[in-house]
Structure formats: structure tokens, C-alpha cells
Structure 1
Amino acid sequence: QPADQPDITRPKLRFVRACRLSAAPLAEKEKAVQTYSWEGADRDTPEQFLAFSKAYLRAARVICRDLIENPDEHTYENGCACMFNARLSVELFLKATLFKANSSTQLSHDIDALFAQFKAAYVGDAYAWHPPFIVEVLGASSESEQLDRMKTHKKEYKQDQALRYPRSRDMQLWQHVVAFSATEFQNELNQLASDVARLESEIFS
């Protein structure tokens, strides 16, 4: 081959060899994915949701404990990550209990709507619960005003999204006051864990 022409053979050979070398591991990886089985796959739907709920609660408690032990990491985004895991735990636990009751569950990310279904499905002191992340309206003069205020609040502040993203879908910063204390939230998480354990014993045993 003339010296003034580039050697196009060697790069081609290198490219082919790279493809061949990566082909076997890729095939093995695809095979592994196809044969993978979650150990909880044989559980019924309520038990699966319960397992995920407890896992997210554990994640929230780990983050919260880490923020207490490392004050320099006590930031807005880390607080949101902690609260989001706790909120998702509540959402999944409510869905687990509703599936367990065989009710016609209206699935959503709305904690208030899910909790209303929970209270309708489980009546009695044994199921009394005041979960975190529900919206409470103070000072309303009537039930209709309370519902209107709640509807407006949820429209302006989408709780499940505000804890996941720094901005809304239209790329605006969330307009809300943020107050998070890892030490105080740890108490909330401890209470949540206690309530979940009590209700799990009543509903899933």
C-alpha cells in the first residue's frame, strides 16, 4: 500500500475484533436478564406492594439517619429524597391494603384519595391511622370551602412531583415554603414504621 494513503485495513480489523469480543458477554447478559426471577414474584399482589412499601420506608430511614449524622449533607435536595421515599412508602402501603381488601381500588398518586378508600374499606379502632403527607385545611368555614381549598392547593403544588423534581413541567420553580428537619422527621418515620407494623399485623396476618 502506498505510504501516502491511510491504512484503512487495520482500523476495520480492530472494529470487527471489538464487536466479536463484546458479542459473547452481551449474549450472556441477555440470557441472564431473560432467566432472572424476582424472589417475590410468586407473592400475591398485596404482599408485593407491601414489600416495596417497607423497602422504601427503610430507604427513607437510612437517608434520614445519614443526614442527622452528617449535618453538612442536610440540604434541600437530600431532604426531598428522604421525604419522597417516605411518601412513596405510604402510597404503596395504602395500595397494598386496598388490594388486600379486594376493593375496586382507584389507583393514583393522591395520598388523600387513597386514604379515603382505606377508611371506607377498614372501619374500626383497630385500623385508626393518621398517615403523613395528607393535606389538612385549617380555618375553612364549610366542607365545600375545605374541598375547594384542597383542590386549589393540589393543583398548585403537586406533592409527588415537587419531591422528585426541582422544577414543574413548565420549568418553573415550585412556589412553596420548605421546612425540613431530619431530627424531627426521624420521629415521623419512627411513628410511620410503628403504624405500618401494627396495621400489617391486623390486615395481613
Structure 2
Amino acid sequence: MGPQELTYLVQGLGWTLILTAIGFIGGIIFGMIVALMRVSSRAWLRYPAIAWIGLFQGTPLLMQLFVAYFGLPLMGFDVPAWAAVAFALNAHASAFLGEIWRGAIQSVPKGQTEAANALGLHARSRMFDVILPQAFKLSLPATVGFLVQLLKGTSLAAIVGFVELARAGVIVSNQIYKPLIVFGVVGVMYFAICWPLSLYGRYLERRMSAGVSK
């Protein structure tokens, strides 16, 4: 495998990182909306969030990619492959992050809410100034863990023809007929990104556990 093939794999890695960033940022935005709907006392907000989480947690990401790639054109949306993949990743990430943050919000001691009520804070200020900052810290380890899962999940985009790292590995392997070497390099690239993130997630988890024990 020469410099040309390695450069092609690096370009695929770049698209993997771009897809991960798009899915994660979109997941953060829509996941926060889902989480707030999920903990709402209003049933007309809570039940759609429950259905959204159940739908995207209860179906494979691969199926969601197929539906986005083939379903959006049938609905009249002419979207390129990367946009369909981004849509599916955003929806997938919003469901998982929404549930992670829902758990974090509900893990904040009720005394915090009672204290905010005693101070006369209205619901918006109570949520955004008191509850969410604490919930954010509690959710960090699980959020980082999901980021690793999402990064690896982008490899499924190869199924719909999008050329990210996994698909680039298939193309290079078919050209030089050395799959063991090619996918060994691909695996090292994934490992070089995912392992530091996993270590960081474990560090955050230990730090949170130490803080709780104190």
C-alpha cells in the first residue's frame, strides 16, 4: 500500500470525522429538545418524545440510514448521500442523547428544585440556571461514550455508497488486493481516535464517582 492509497484512507477518515461532528452537534441540539420534552409535565410534549426515543433506540441505525437515503427522495426531497446520512445520524443521536440527558436531569436531587422554588425562580430559570448545569456534569461520561459509539456507527454509511473511512478501505482493498493490510490500517485509524475518547470518558466517570463519594 503506497502513499496514494494511504492518502485516500486519510480523506475517508476526514469524512468520518465530519459525519461524526454533524451527527453529534445535531444530536446535541435536537437531543436537548427531546430531553426537555421528555421531562415535561405536559403529556402532549412528553409522549411524542417517548415515541421518538423508542423509535430510534428500538430500530437499527442501518435501517434508519436506508429509510433516510431512499425515503427522503420518495417524499420529494432531492438530497445528496451525505445529507441523507447526516439526517439519519442527527435523528439517531438526538434519541440517545435525549434519553441520556433525561436521566441526568432526573438524577439531580429534588432538593435543588425545591430550593429554586423557595427562591421564587420561574420554570425557565429553574431549569436552565439550576437543573441543567448540574445535569450536564452528570451526563458527561455517558455523552462521551455515545460519541465513541456514533463515530464507529458512521461506518454504516458505506452501505448507502457514502465514501467514509470504512468505504474507502473497501475501495483500496479491491484495488490492491491486500485486505488484511488495508483494514489493519483502517482499524488503527479508528482505534487512534476512539481509544483516547474512551479513556477520557473513563476519567470523567472516575472523577464524578469520586465527587459523589466525597
Question: TM-score scaled by structure 2?
Answer: 0.27
More helix by share: 2
Which protein shows a greater Rg? 1
Higher relative contact order (CA closer than 8 Å, sequence separation 6+) = 2
